[in-house]
Amino acid sequence: MLEAILLVGGQGTRLRPLTLSAPKPMLPVAGVPCTTHQIARARAAGVDHVVLGTSYQADVFRSAYGHGEGLGVQLTYAHEETPLGTGGALRNVAEHLRSGPDDPVLVFNGDVLSGFDIEALVAHWRDARADVALYLTRVEDPRPFGLVPTDAQHKVLAFLEKPSTPEEIVTDQINAGCYVFRRSLLDEIPAGRPVSVERETFPGLLQSGAHVIGHVDTSYWLDLGTPLAFVRGSADLVRGIAPSPAVVGSNGEALIHASAQVAADAQVSAGSAVGRNCIVHSGAKVLGSVLMDGVVIGAGAVVRDSVVGRSTRIGAGTHLHEAVIGDNCDIGAHNEFTSGARVWPETALPDMAVRFSAEPA
């Protein structure tokens, strides 16, 4: 028996406005929520009990998954009335665990898409008799990340904040958002107050002499925290670049729900995912994008590397490039949204030839 905790209580501010109507881990990537992909992978690695650490929009998880009947695992919920941070959430979840004090417990950040070998991480923790094993990945540009240098025996030497000078880039290894904890350590995290696992718990464990190891795995890894990463992650799943047992029905270039209608001369490709009851009209192009349920794309419109929220209509000839359009919008014809432009839900815009960009003109 192996237990896992999924941290899914964050507000997902970087993905607004999409996260106004659904928590980030429940937004569809390649047709199903990131949480479903993660639980499917955890189950394949032998996990049979998952505790979701919820806070923001917790009901969405409960109504989607119940007790886990459709997922093949037992699902329990640990709710935080006020968010307790990544470490406080672990302490809050701990009382729902069934593992013994020395058993391994897996922890996943709820917004990470990865093909790493979960069983190898647990085996490494066990073989090294570690207190905590962190899944680390290597990135070309580590500047936006906290760094985790290790020694030749994989022992973590430090948890370093984002580097601000070239000298501070002492390694390309970063915390990839999945850990194995000895269960008793989760019980020792302070209760009832916000705690950051990255900034407080891990450095504290190092200081107290705990045996913390890094497990480097360089398979597919992506943090879905930003709109561009979100569409890329979805497209990678659709194209099979990111592995997940939960992707069903992709033709390798697109995943189109059976109830969607796509005109014969429209193009849906580059890993696009098209939700329930969507309509893509004649001559439109949907490339590397995510259309949530009930979206209508007008004739000749071009949607590239963008996300379109539920029940939104995009007018004929409108161009979206790296844009995020919220739910229930009515966007007129011949508009242009580029470079990170975001449109809030329920927005109505008339037909016009105007360019909206998040970049200064």
Q: Does 318 bind ligand GTP (CB under 6 A)?
A: no
Applying CB under 6 A, what is the total number of residues that bind ligand GTP?
A: 24
232, 151 Cβ separation under 8 angstroms: no
Radius of gyration from C-alpha coordinates of the chain = 21
CB of 305 to ligand GTP, least distance (A): 19
Using the CB atoms, write b or e for 104-118: b if 16+ within 10 Å: bbbbbbbbbbbbbeb
Comparing CB distances to ligand GTP, the nearer of 132 and 254 is 132
Q: Does 13 bind ligand GTP (CB under 6 A)?
A: yes
| Longest CA–CA separation in the chain, Å | 64
One-letter amino acid at 256 equals I
Cβ–Cβ contacts within 10 Å for residue 44, how many? Answer: 14
Q: 37: which residues sit within 8 A by CB, 6+ positions away?
A: 29, 30, 113, 237, 244, 246, 247
Comparing CB distances to ligand GTP, the nearer of 283 and 340 is 340
CB of 52 to ligand GTP, least distance (A): 8
Comparing CB distances to ligand GTP, the nearer of 114 and 318 is 114
Q: Does 12 bind ligand GTP (CB under 6 A)?
A: yes
Q: Considering only residues 107 through 126, tell me which ones interact with ligand GTP, judged by CB under 6 A.
A: 109-111
Query: Is the torsion defined by CA of 47, 49, 53, 55 positive or negative?
Result: positive
Reported as half-sphere exposure (CB side, CA atoms, 13 A), residue 102 has a value of 3
Q: Does 7 bind ligand GTP (CB under 6 A)?
A: yes
Q: Does 24 bind ligand GTP (CB under 6 A)?
A: yes
Q: Which residue in the set 42, 51, 89, 333 belongs to the binding site for ligand GTP (CB under 6 A)?
A: 89
Per-state percent for the chain, helix, strand, coil, to nearest 5:
25, 30, 45
Q: Does 84 bind ligand GTP (CB under 6 A)?
A: yes
| 3-class secondary structure, 21 | helix
280, 298 Cβ separation under 8 angstroms: no
Return the range that interacts with ligand GTP (CB under 6 A); candidates 7-15, 127-135, 140-148, 229-237: 7-15
Q: Which residue in the set 35, 38, 55, 234 belongs to the binding site for ligand GTP (CB under 6 A)?
A: 55
Q: Does 83 bind ligand GTP (CB under 6 A)?
A: yes
Return the range that interacts with ligand GTP (CB under 6 A); candidates 78-86, 266-274, 301-309, 320-328: 78-86
Q: Does 85 bind ligand GTP (CB under 6 A)?
A: yes
CB of 273 to ligand GTP, least distance (A): 21
| 3-class secondary structure, 348 | strand
The residues that touch ligand GTP, with contacts defined as CB under 6 A, are 7-15, 24-25, 53-55, 80, 83-86, 89, 109-111, 225
